[in-house]
Structure 1
Amino acid sequence: MTRNPVFRSNYYILAQVGQGQFGRVYCGISRKTGKFVALKSLAKGFPTNRFLREFSCLISLRHPNIVSCQAIEYHGGGRYLVMDYCEGGTLRDLMNFSAKLNLKSRLDLVINILAGLEQAHKKNIIHCDIKPENILLSLTADKWVGKVTDFGIAKIIEQSSNDRGESGYTGSPAYMAPERFYGKYSYACDIYSVGIILYELMIGERPFYGLPGDLMLAHLNKRFDIPDTVPKPLQSIIIKALEKLPKRRFSSAKKMLEAINIAKYQLNINQDKPIISTSNNLSKFTVEINNFSRLDVVDKINHIVNNDENIYLASHNQLIKLSNQSKKIETINFNQSIKSLTLLSQGCLVLTEDKKQKICQYDFHYFSENKSFNTLDTCLQLESQDLTYTCDFKGKWLAIISKIDNEQISAKLTVLNLQTLSSFHSPKPCPFPEKLIFLNNRYGLAIFSGIFQDKRQTCFYLFNRRGHFIKGFLFPLLISKLTVNKSNAYDLFAVEKVKPNNGILIKLNPLKMTRIPLEFVPDFISGESWGYGLARTTGELLLLDKKGNYRSKINLGVEITAITGLSKNQLLIATLEDRKAKLLTLDLKELD
């Protein structure tokens, strides 16, 4: 996370999320509340009247489907609007995603846009620039929510006045109503723009393409075709919304919204299954079996980690080290079962677990690449009912939260120097999290699921290496199986708890979340430089690129017990067949 020197205000700037003709938009966090906000910085020379117009529009509009303005602030470099932050990106991002929206989701998003416009029109405001880029998205437990934004060129009409013509036009020609090209404005202009969006959502492309001049002629004179694949009730709605003459369109946003709801009822669209589109983006991968013949003695591989030098495998209480170069195999047997392996830059951290009646004994063992593998030293012993931990990749810091008793809030956070096992502080009381993550050598995240602000959500709480919790921020979903991408700790992949057939791609800087329909609920997830590998114990494997697009799927036909990245272009898979463990590699060169 970096600071932008331009902004010295009540908000901590994370990153730029967008740039338009009139300024830039940043993702920020309030220093007082820890909430995410969008900061729209207006470019130098931006007309004051336009700035005040957008500010007055946003202040007067309060609606769930309109991005609201919270404040206006001045800083050393100028001024900016403080607005709601929408973590789902834009409707354009969603339309460009390989997995298509189902019909219910498409219509619900159009309904969201119309509901926002209905409120704006009640306030005598014509948006004048409705397009997918100006529809922001938030996620809820079961859907996307669209919110109208960017009122920078909106027109405010006094109730006592008539529409006035203006010379020239501003806006987006691909979505502009015909009359806009010669300076006429009315509420019907926004209806026409929504009609273009509905057409694009249903068909996958706009009705008209070309340069601005070509688009003007097309909007004014050209007719369009609607494929028979579009249901008849929706065809009639599109045709009416895209009438050339404003008076022939829907008389209001409310009337068009009602028409879509009637069409949903006629088509019996109450629930719609997600559409998983894979055929257009699948690649072919080569499967090779590594010649680790002595691995047949292993009953089942539960964990795998590796670096450029060695592969570490865990099976029950046995740790196996395989040299990537010499194929040399070394083993160590523990008295306790191995709970997890964590790869560090210079070795491997092993956590063993000895379950007792009410409490478990946890032992941490650190193996350095520079020392003999057979040197078995216990670096830390703890007794706890449960335990979760994380360490930074360089192997300097170890953060541990141990549960004291059955109460969810009775846990303690300790951050230690892994080399000396010393800590800066005494253990800090805290709730017991589902996951700990180190973002860098200074900060980590503790992930909690529960009821926050009367909603079931996930809270990400930042802590530093001194064990102090700083600000937290909320995700509107309950998530599980959170996995860090090894190439960037700010990129994460998770699965929704309520609907586990949905994956969630999370980018923390700036915050962005993408919902991905999955063909199966993964048992294993591996985040690599090329994307994410998802596997199920029954043998199915799914590969996604870093944007969440499907790249390949395969069924190995054997039980999968663990996966991890092997190198820049390979995925290592542990399988079990006839009670014998084998390692497979998938060659991913075609993803590069």
Structure 2
Amino acid sequence: MKICQKCSNFFPDDINVCPLDNIVLSQSGDSNLGKVVGGCYRIHSFISKGGMGSVYLAKHRYLNRNVAIKILNQQMSSDESMRKRIIREARICASLEHPNIVKVYDLATLEGSMCIVMEFLEGKTLKEVLRFENTLTVERTLKIMQMIAEALSRAHSFNIIHRDIKPANIFLTSYRDIDDFVKLLDFGIAYTIGGARLTQKGMLLGTPAYVPPERIKGEEPTKASDIYSLGCVVYEMLTGKSPFASQNIEEVITGHLFRDPAPLKEIRQDIPDSLSSIILKMLEKNPQNRYQDAFELLEDMKFNNLYSKITGENVVRASEGATSIEGSNEIVWNNYFDNISKMVDDDTAQTIEFSKGVEAANELFLIEQKIAELVMEIEKLDNKRREYHRNIAIALETLQTDLAKQRRELGKTKMEHIAQISEIEYLTSKVNEIEEKIMSLFSQRKNENGKISDEEIEQIILLSEMVQRLREINEKEKKNKENRNELKFQIEDLKYQILQLNKRVVEIDEEFAQKHDDYINEIDKLSTKAENLRSIAAFTAQKVASGIRMSGSLEKNHK
């Protein structure tokens, strides 16, 4: 594609002069610049390149929305398992409507390469921040930790496990007066509990420095697996390195499996004991001893006064409309030819070539209208889906929060149960011991035909007190057992309700996905035709414009 350095519009390679400004076009320098992805997104500039592909800044031609487009390289795009993973990532992110999760708008292809269209973010990854700052303050760490946990709570409410929590997948941007506003990235290897498997059982996915022990052992991931990885990230934010950092991968793996992390208090004295305890629980080797999901973690943060009101559903997306693209207006070709027809003589206006340009521009206008209508239908569909997900998410998160509270209460009753059983065993032992003592004193008195001694009286009184205490503890244990059973019933009931809601979400998502795909397929067909017509219009305009001198007002009229 070629670009006009004055108006910043893109033109096909066979166009040499800008029809608007009558100046020579220059090569864009990147074969992807100026191209339209998915019939709607015009690529405007290069952002970055990584191992999977390149990222570009683009603009939705009909919604005036700036987006980032990740174009995967051909090798990635041709890998069937990778294609399936990308499709899953797009659908997962689309379903997880949350301020702290990067928004994915669309999935498309460009000349055989898969493209993920997502919200455009300005800022840095946590990995980049830590590279320059090494450690963060406790306050800043807590804020970032909380927002990551909030993002994970949304994923966990839909039974989705991220599986790759690490600093490189945590993006920090700004929104209003909130710095370090978290956007959780890359759900490419996310795992849906009960969903179809895209990897072999036992395959180790994730980054070694943050991978939980159970994944190293080849066990199934759980929501607690994300908690462990987040614990590693929080540990690194506070200390400057992950818990088992080493250049030797075997030492890293051994650390995750067998070693305890260095005590935080030995590294930093300003870390609160409550936060240190929370991190240690997150890093437990046995997943059953960790927080079972992000809701339990957030509940404990609230309980220990480590939670602040910095996020929530009322937070508008930080990036939408944040950056404008200079000179990004599309040329409306039928307006162009309407204006230019007034400036050419009748002979030129009646030529076959000019007529072809006018016909192409008029047909293009109708196609663009049809595409715009389809785009609005997709927006309505997506808004309906997002609203549905928001409502379901509120219900799920309410249930999950209740579940976390019930689990905390059950844990408390279990601790009471352990203490009561211990006391019952002690009292039973003492009662047996006192009874033996009384029997011994009674036998001695009987043999000697003596009177009851003060010691025997004391033992009888003590026995009475012990028996009474034993009755009280047994009664408490009976109530505790009833309470435990009731809590277990409530927990199972909450889990069942959550399961049913998630099943309904899957059913609805499949319906939305089918309708969405139908619209996209129609847009793709129309877009291909539109690009051909746009080339015809541009080529005709170039030939006509070369024969006349256009005024500055014309440039304004046809934009």
Greater helix content: 2
TM bracket, shorter-chain basis? 0.3 to 0.5
* Structure-1-length-normalised TM-score: 0.43
| Greater relative contact order structure (CA < 8 Å, 6+ sep) | 2
Flag the structure with higher strand content.
1
Q: Which has the larger radius of gyration?
A: 2
With the length of structure 2 as denominator, give the TM-score of the two structures.
0.46
